Structure 1
Amino acid sequence: MLFTEDFLHYLWKFRLFDNTDLKTVDGEVIHIYSAGIHNTHSGPDFSNARIRIGDTTWAGNVEIHVPSSDWRKHNHANDEAYKNVILHVVYRDDEPVITADGNKLPTLELENRISPDLYNRFHSLVYGNQTIIPCEGSIGLIDDMTLGTWLTRVLVERLEKRAETVIKALDQNRGDWEETFYQFLAANFGFKTNALPFEMLAKSLPQNILAKHKNNPLQIEALIFGQAGFLQGDVVDEYPKKLKTEYDFLRKKYNLTPIENHLWKFLRMRPQNFPTIRLAQFAALIIKSNHLFSKILDIREVKGLRDLFTEIQVDPYWEEHYRFDASSKPSSKNLGQSSVDVLLLNTLAVFLFSYGKHLQLEYYISRSMKLLESLPKEENNIINDFDVLGVKVKNAFESQALLELKNNYCNFKKCLQCGIGNKILKLA
């Protein structure tokens, strides 16, 4: 048989081996009261197990190996972390294990206790020639409850990882949620292609400076376009001339240094997505909503959150321009529905979750989940592949979960750590 220790961990954790007449390799009767808690970090594989061996009931750790000789190869005998191991569980006992105190470690051999059918299902998952995901031939058999429960769990894992990034930035901003939200929102206004210069812009232009000019839209626009590096050279049209005049004054007042203009990318982009248009939209949002994160915390309905972004109005200049001093056919430059959905998904949902997690307020975590449930599913190759396999995705809650599942479980064939993989292995 070809398998890893993970498979033995799985068998031990769920006791999916022949449990009749269990004995050590030396003939002592074994009774398992508790298999212990699976340890995915350093140290013994299972902690706090409770097992009777012979006439004695032991409480301690369980170590698992494919051959028993791995104990020696891994130098466990000289590691203090392994001194409380009460049972060695192995596929094959190829040599006795002697502990540091000179005693022979009780060993349970599983070589003849593993169902061939269970092994074949495991082998098919982990070593098969699937093209999309390891369980692509079986995922359609999974019941909705199992699938839904596991998707919820991996979605939480995804949000927790994102929350770690938010909290790290929060610490750098000395606990200022408004400033941290402003920086992340700016980065997401870059929609991947221009995320970096948008983030650099926000960090070079603190929100408290913008707040001082909340009643002067022209000055806010001047600060944003100026710090983005678009007001460095000569301009012709009246609107950018006004911006440049204001920025030249404000730059000296606040000792500002603009970011390099060459960082912004225009190539192979639809004009509607040009960074100049995104900057105009970002400025319009800042003008409309001071202390934006506080407003988001107070707005309970998804429609209210959406209205924050759909009702912003860019300066009329942009209705006939995509760049400064280059006129175009008139068109609306306000944020489209799909762009709003991306911002709600990548910024608002993440920050509601992070805020709730950090302050242990379940209400905001629940709001984050409900927001994702209200948003349409994402359209990409991964979601399309799951659709082909019969997994019908209804909303962003499910599409985000499937992205996490594919990228952090399926791609690494972590089927034994996956609720779906576990269910497939248990199918009769």
Structure 2
Amino acid sequence: MKEDFLHHVWLHKRIDVTQLFTTKKEKIEILKFGQYLQTSGPDFFNAQLIIANQKWAGNIEIHVKSSDWYLHNHEKDKNYDNVILHVVWEHDIEIYRSNNTEIPVLELKQYIKLSDVNRYKDLFRPKKWINCENQINKIDNFKWSNWKERLFFERLERKSEFISSLLVETKNDWDAVLFCLLAKNFGLNINGDSFLEIAKSIPFSVIRKEKSEVEN
């Protein structure tokens, strides 16, 4: 079992949410699954649950085993004090926050269909082309076209939102925005964010002044 699969299950809601219980047999109602962060800190941000008729708002952390909580030293990290549910494949030990309060645990292996597990394993067996090469021809043409079109628009939306945020930061200075975007793209995928931060740390008035002096 891999943690990525458990992330997939939670992100795409591949469980029967009407019949979930903690390892202490307390009923769980999921109001919001949370936002998948894929950064440092808990895996899903700003989730909302009802556990044993008590409403909780906070984060979700996912591991293969409960003991991974201690393997990763989360009990010493205050960033994990707002975890309201520990979602695991196998529950092998009780876990606690840094203030020694116990965190409810949801053990997934009793809720996930074996067919879903086997399908996931099949996707990651060695292939000649891509992981889903044996399934891709079974996708309805309309869904396939619609998905690709949606990907295109989502990419445009992300880019436009990023440019809009830069425009706000630079007080509607399009030249400064262009400078930041050029710097980010010079850094490519690996160093792009670092190049962007360097560009943003330099007041563009300095760049504009240097440009004017060179032209004169």
Please give the TM-score of this superposition, normalised by the length of structure 2.
0.68
Find the counterpart in structure 1 of residue 138 from structure 2: 141
C-alpha distance in 2 between matches for 1:5 and 1:66? 6
SS at match of 1:81: helix
Find the counterpart in structure 1 of residue 108 from structure 2: 110
Q: Are 1:120 and 2:128 counterparts?
A: no
Structure of greater Rg: 1
Q: 1:106 to 1:169 in 2, by over 3 A?
A: closer
The one-letter code matched in structure 1 to 2:131 is P
Find the counterpart in structure 1 of residue 26 from structure 2: 28
Choose the corresponding residue for 2:43, options 36, 42, 45: 45
Q: Determine if contact 2:18/2:29 at 8 Å carries over to the other structure.
A: no
Q: Determine if contact 2:77/2:98 at 8 Å carries over to the other structure.
A: no
Find the counterpart in structure 2 of residue 171 from structure 1: 179
Choose the corresponding residue for 1:67, options 54, 65, 68: 65
Q: 1:146 to 1:101 in 2, by over 3 A?
A: same
The one-letter code matched in structure 2 to 1:101 is N
TM-superposition CA deviations, 1:74-133 (whole Å, max 9, x none): 11122222111100000001111011111111000011211111111111112x232011
Q: 1:115 to 1:69 in 2, by over 3 A?
A: same
Find the counterpart in structure 2 of residue 90 from structure 1: 88
Find the counterpart in structure 1 of residue 148 from structure 2: 151
TM-superposition CA deviations, 1:27-71 (whole Å, max 9, x none): 211111111111122211111111011121001111111101111
SS at match of 2:45: strand
Q: Relative contact order (C-alpha < 8 Å, sep 6+): which is higher? A: 1
Find the counterpart in structure 1 of residue 210 from structure 2: none
Find the counterpart in structure 2 of residue 178 from structure 1: none
SS at match of 2:4: helix
Choose the corresponding residue for 2:97, options 84, 91, 99: 99
TM-superposition CA deviations, 1:249-290 (whole Å, max 9, x none): xxxxxxxxxxxxxxxxxxxxxxxxxxxxxxxxxxxxxxxxxx
The one-letter code matched in structure 1 to 2:46 is N
Find the counterpart in structure 1 of residue 11 from structure 2: 13
Question: 5 Å matches for 1:210-359?
Answer: none
Alpha-carbon deviation of 1:150? 3.0
Relative to its length, the structure with more strand (as a share) is 2
TM-superposition CA deviations, 1:179-202 (whole Å, max 9, x none): xxxxxxxxxxxxxxxxxxxxxxxx
Find the counterpart in structure 1 of residue 187 from structure 2: none
Q: 1:130 to 1:55 in 2, by over 3 A?
A: same
Find the counterpart in structure 2 of residue 357 from structure 1: none
Choose the corresponding residue for 1:132, options 129, 134, 143: 129
Q: 1:130 to 1:30 in 2, by over 3 A?
A: same
Give the alignment's Cα RMSD to 1 decimal: 2.9
Alignment gaps of 5+ in structure 2: 164-174, 183-216
C-alpha distance in 2 between matches for 1:110 and 1:173? 43
C-alpha distance in 2 between matches for 1:138 and 1:118? 14
Relative to its length, the structure with more helix (as a share) is 1
Identity of aligned residues (%): 38
C-alpha distance in 2 between matches for 1:173 and 1:40? 23
Alignment gaps of 5+ in structure 1: 175-428
C-alpha distance in 1 between matches for 2:98 and 2:178? 48
Find the counterpart in structure 2 of residue 345 from structure 1: none
Aligned residues: 168
Q: 1:80 to 1:134 in 2, by over 3 A?
A: same
